[in-house]
């Protein structure tokens, strides 16, 4: 070993500009996809133009949201769903938003490992989003990950998320087909958390159909729907399916029901109005988050307006209008 | 009665432009003050310039926030406080934010009637704000009412509010001196609601000091403060006062303590930093509310951006930036 060895510049992975990754993502190169999603997660300003370009190229994928309380068996269902969809010839993408994900520093769960197995054996792409350090931008990052996979030709794309919290609800309402998973035998207190997500279901799945309590859960869901729960789409009555991921029972039927829902969206014209409402939710969610973040981080613009209000040159309403850019500063 | 009687234009109270009310408000004319506050409550666009002008003329009043859970005896305390302040020679203004106010359609309470009596006999001006139909603008309207009274020469101005809800906390943190009222013998569950407001107290008052349980309440507050509760102002240790509004016990001392706190704010320089933080809170609160309201009511600007995102001309992030006015449209 010579002295030169020590002074040699260590070999580093070169930073590829995000715009240069775009053609690779469009070709479906997995390493480029992984990098783009990481940059979306970190909200690199440098990646903004590339993400915008990929958004423009996306829009073909069918997006399936799978949600349910912790313990309902989401990861198991998603694993089984990946296999069933892959067998049916689809190139499946999965974006998992789950605080217990091993990738984001949570507990390593058997379910998650099983999901990776399913992915490996089927050619699906599975990505877990970190749920920390997002400054409220989890929904934005997750939906950008969906855009990236969409532009790369993946379809359907499954978003897996726990059905608790504003971010999670924002994410799942950005899906074209929302599958809400209920588990038989979970306490009422746990199920109650789902009150808000029961209403956005396009398909109800009762997991662990092999358990005897599953019959009661199906009946309870039927009761809730009779009370008028349901999305604005009155022409689709959400079916309730009892599924056993263990035995594979009725999983093919779930795949068929998802296809039937997609066909319904296209034929009824509901797809267009759902796309509008998804776009609206994404814009407002992003704007709210950007606005909040700007001032949480301390902003010179704000302090200038504070000065003016403290000196009583202008009132708080005018300051707010200027802050929002709705009023020119004089 | 002739036919002419029926065709005669009925006599109406003429609408006085808000700008014409400004000099009358500054002179302290009560009818003009009442009208301006009503216009602030209704968020008349026509009144915006007048309110801005009154804000610029305000800034001399000392603002006292009085808060505490329902049942703590706020209205009784405020009534007694009005009398004591009036006796000390002050022209007192009161803005009450209380869902149970008879003026806003709630129950007619003996406390509230007593407060009006106190006002009538002391020359104070008392105004209850309606807590409904504000579209989230309750804090804005309440603080504009304070500006109006301030510009009319009232000082101190007491804001009375229940210590629950984001709006109420936003209102009370806009006071220079925050008095938090605790009642002896209320259940722990009720007191727990106050966890957030205990921390913003400049003065603690334990009401119903004639009750034997008052001693325990004072001890509990001392304990909480020992745990480090308190505002950022480390040079003022919030005193804890046991007061009986019934007997008038120690009310003069409360008035003196409020004066002492004002003197402390001025001498320590804390008043300047508190004014900055009040301005900051008002600007951000107003901006958030205006932003939310604009899109809740449906906005053409938003729909134009939704169109662009649905057609994939631009991505949601760019749309959000344009919506916020942070980016020019091309």
The answer to whether the CB of A36 falls within 8 A of the CB of A50 is yes
The residue of chain B nearest to residue A52, with distances taken between CA atoms, is B315
Q: Does B319 touch chain A (CB under 8 A)?
A: yes
Nearest to A316 among B59, B283, B321 (CB): B283
Q: pLDDT tens digits for B48-60?
A: 999 999 999 999 9
Domains of chain A: 58-286 (3.40.50.300)
Q: pLDDT tens digits for A245-258?
A: 666 667 888 999 99
pTM: 0.66
Q: What is the pLDDT of residue B155?
A: 96
- Test A280 with B140 for CB contact under 8 angstroms: no
Contacts of residue B179, Cβ cutoff 8 Å, sequence gap at least 6: B64, B65, B66, B67, B201, B202, B203, B204, B205, B254, B258
The residue of chain B nearest to residue A43, with distances taken between CA atoms, is B317
- Test A279 with B306 for CB contact under 8 angstroms: yes
Q: What is the pLDDT of residue A176?
A: 95
Q: How many CB atoms lie within 10 A of CB B188?
A: 7
Q: Does A60 touch chain B (CB under 8 A)?
A: no
3-state secondary structure of B248: coil
Q: Does B44 touch chain A (CB under 8 A)?
A: no
Nearest residue to B242 via CA among B214, B222, B223: B214
- Most A-contacting residue of B171, B291, B316 (CB-CB within 10 A), to test interface: B316
Q: Residue A99 pLDDT > 60, yes or no?
A: no
Q: pLDDT tens digits for A259-273?
A: 999 999 999 999 999
Contacts of residue B289, Cβ cutoff 8 Å, sequence gap at least 6: B135, B136, B137, B139, B140
The rounded distance, in Å, linking the Cα atoms of A129 and A145 is: 9
Contacts of residue A103, Cβ cutoff 8 Å, sequence gap at least 6: A128, A130
- Test A279 with B309 for CB contact under 8 angstroms: yes
Residue A89, Cα to own-chain centre: how many angstroms? 23
Average pLDDT, chain A: 81
- Test A279 with B320 for CB contact under 8 angstroms: no
Q: Residue A179 pLDDT > 80, yes or no?
A: yes
Q: Residue A194 pLDDT > 90, yes or no?
A: no
Q: Does A263 touch chain B (CB under 8 A)?
A: no
Q: Bridge partners of B160?
A: B66, B96
Q: What is the pLDDT of residue B133?
A: 53
Longest dimension (CA), chain A: 80
pLDDT band for position A39 (50/70/90)?
A: very high
Q: What is the pLDDT of residue B25?
A: 97
A140-146: average pLDDT: 92
Q: Tell me the chain A residues in contact with residue B310 when contact means C-beta distances shorter than 8 Å.
A: 275-276, 279
Q: What is the pLDDT of residue A192?
A: 45
Alpha helices in chain A (DSSP H): 3-7, 18-27, 30-42, 48-57, 74-87, 110-122, 138-151, 166-172, 188-192, 195-198, 214-226, 251-268, 270-296, 300-310, 316-323
DSSP secondary-structure letter at B61?
Answer: S
The rounded distance, in Å, linking the Cα atoms of A218 and A206 is: 7
Q: Among A94-103, A309-318, A319-328, B230-239, where is mean pLDDT lowest?
A: A94-103
Nearest residue to A72 via CA among A245, A195, A226, A199: A245
pLDDT band for position B249 (50/70/90)?
A: low
pLDDT top residue among A312 and B75: A312
């Amino acid at each position: 070993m010579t002295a030169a060895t020590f002074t040699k510049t260590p070999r580093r992975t070169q930073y590829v500009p995000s715009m240069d990754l775009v053609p690779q993502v469009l070709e479906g190169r997995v390493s480029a996809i992984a990098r783009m999603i990481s940059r979306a997660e970190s909200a690199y300003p440098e990646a903004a133009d590339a993400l915008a370009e990929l958004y423009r190229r996306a829009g073909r994928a069918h997006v399936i949201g799978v949600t349910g309380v912790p313990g309902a068996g989401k990861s198991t269902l998603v694993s089984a769903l990946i296999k069933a969809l892959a067998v049916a010839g689809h190139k499946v993408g999965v974006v998992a938003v789950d605080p217990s994900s091993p990738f984001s520093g949570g507990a390593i769960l058997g379910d998650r490992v099983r999901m990776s197995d399913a992915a490996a054996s089927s050619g699906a792409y599975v990505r877990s989003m970190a749920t920390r350090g997002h400054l409220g931008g989890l929904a934005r990052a997750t939906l950008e990950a969906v855009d990236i996979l969409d532009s790369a030709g993946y379809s359907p794309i499954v978003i897996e998320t726990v059905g608790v919290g504003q971010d999670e609800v924002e994410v799942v309402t950005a899906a074209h087909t929302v599958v809400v998973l209920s588990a038989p035998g979970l306490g009422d207190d746990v199920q109650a958390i789902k009150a808000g997500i029961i209403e956005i279901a396009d398909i109800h799945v009762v997991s662990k159909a092999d358990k005897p309590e599953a019959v009661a859960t199906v009946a309870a869901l039927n009761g809730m729907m009779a009370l008028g729960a349901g999305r604005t789409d009155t022409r689709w009555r959400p079916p309730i399916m009892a599924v056993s991921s263990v035995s594979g029972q009725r999983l093919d039927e779930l795949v068929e029901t998802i296809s039937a829902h997609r066909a319904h969206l296209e034929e009824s014209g509901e797809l267009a109005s759902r796309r509008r409402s998804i776009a609206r939710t994404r814009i407002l969610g992003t704007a709210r988050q950007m606005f909040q973040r700007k001032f949480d981080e301390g902003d010179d613009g704000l302090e200038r307006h504070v000065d003016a209000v403290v000196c009583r040159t202008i009132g708080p309403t005018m300051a707010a209008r200027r802050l929002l850019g709705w009023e020119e500063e004089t």
